[in-house]
Amino acid sequence: MPAGTLYRGREGMWSWVAHRVTGVLIFFFLFVHVLDTALVRVSPEDYDNVVATYKTPVVALLEYGLVAAILFHALNGLRVIAVDFWSQGPRHQKQMLWGVVILWLALMIGAIYPVLGHAARELFGS
Amino acid sequence: MATTETTASGIGPVEGGSVYNVDNPAPLIEAPRKRTKKTPRTTRGNFEMAAWLFMRLSGVLLVVLVITHLLIQLVLDGGVSKIGFAFVAGRWASPFWQVWDLLMLWLAMLHGANGLRTVINDYAERANTRLWLKGLLYTATVFTILLGTLVIFTFDPNIR
């Protein structure tokens, strides 16, 4: 690890770290996702077989994680744009981060049932 | 004897004027950053600025494209359970969703590739490591964009 990668700490640095980590994770998923979708050019059966793994409870949990990463990266990205282009942005970057976190939490609570519901029904019966 | 071109004070020839004249009893010194005919042409374009702007413009579009995509694929109408070949065929029957997915593919891949390029530049300290990592990144990016584009344009609902 290169020296001096820990910057000032607090909201500014940690939101930047989280933006990087979520960005890299989303990019790696994107490779996999284009490859799995490319199977529609092989055969309907091969595509459906691979998509079946996306419907298992363990992968459902990973999908919930993917939604978490994408929503944070999207909301914080809009905050970064506000910091760069809005004259009052840098002054309010902390409040905007807390706005991002609260909105993210609300959306993540809302996503529990739609994203994880089918996995819960499979695990515990319905 | 050319007295205006060379002086004992070490100042070289100055473009567009003599070193001394009546109005400038002291030697005329050019502004430090003034571009003259002798300034070498800049070897750097505005690539980094264009990349910075692209991240913000594509970011705004991707927020709309990707969150709608997540809503359709993972939330509405049974969530992930409904996805299958028939569902893909139904969506790509419409040029609107073909263009949507094509735009999302290109913007997300380029946005992600530029993000990873920044990460590599930040953490890979040896020039050779950066070269290889970026070579791998660009190869994977071009391959994925071309594969995805090919799949969208050549999709055949009656493949079997």
Q: Is residue A5 part of a domain?
A: no
Give the A window 8-67 contacts with B, CB below 8 Å: 20, 23-24, 26-27, 30-31, 34-35, 37-38, 40-41, 43-45, 47-48, 51, 54-55, 60, 63, 67
Domain ranges for chain B:
55-154
Comparing CA positions, the residue from B149, B105, B50 lying closest to residue A27 is B105
C-beta atoms of B148 and A118 within 8 A: no
B23-48 pLDDT, tens digit each: 777 776 767 777 777 777 776 778 99
Confidence tier at B79 by pLDDT (50, 70, 90): confident
Compute the average pLDDT of residues A107-112: 95
Q: Among A66-70, A116-120, B69-73, whose mean pLDDT is lowest?
A: A116-120
Determine what percent of chain A is predicted with pLDDT higher than 90.
80
C-beta atoms of A41 and B159 within 8 A: yes
> What pLDDT sits at residue A75?
97
Domain range for A103 is 11-124
Q: Is B108 on the interface with A (CB under 8 A)?
A: yes
Helix axes B47-70, A57-85, angle to 10 degrees: 140
Q: Is B70 on the interface with A (CB under 8 A)?
A: yes
> What pLDDT sits at residue B78?
85
Q: What is the DSSP string of A17-57?
A: HHHHHHHHHHHHHHHHHHHHHHGGGT-HHHHHHHHHHHTSH
Q: Is residue A102 part of a domain?
A: yes
ipTM: 0.90
C-beta atoms of B119 and A35 within 8 A: no
Distance CA B91, CA B77 (A): 14
Classified by CATH at the fold level, domain B55-154 comes out as: 3 helical TM bundles of succinate and fumarate reductases (1.20.1300)
Q: Is residue A1 part of a domain?
A: no
DSSP B16: T
Q: What is the mean pLDDT of chain A?
A: 91
Q: What is the mean pLDDT of chain B?
A: 86
Name the residue with higher pLDDT: B36 or A47. A47
> What pLDDT sits at residue B46?
87
DSSP B42: P
- Closest Cβ opposite residue A37 in set B60, B113, B151: B151
In this predicted structure, the answer to whether residue A122 has a pLDDT above a threshold of 70 is: yes
Q: Among A54-63, B63-72, B73-82, whose mean pLDDT is lowest?
A: B73-82
In this predicted structure, the answer to whether residue B9 has a pLDDT above a threshold of 60 is: no
Q: Is A124 on the interface with B (CB under 8 A)?
A: no
Find the CATH number of the domain harbouring A102.
1.20.1300.10
B83-98 pLDDT, tens digit each: 999 999 999 999 999 9
Residue B31: strand, helix, or coil: coil
In this predicted structure, the answer to whether residue A47 has a pLDDT above a threshold of 70 is: yes
Looking at the 3D structure of chain A, how many domains does it have?
Answer: 1
> What pLDDT sits at residue B58?
97
> What pLDDT sits at residue B1?
45
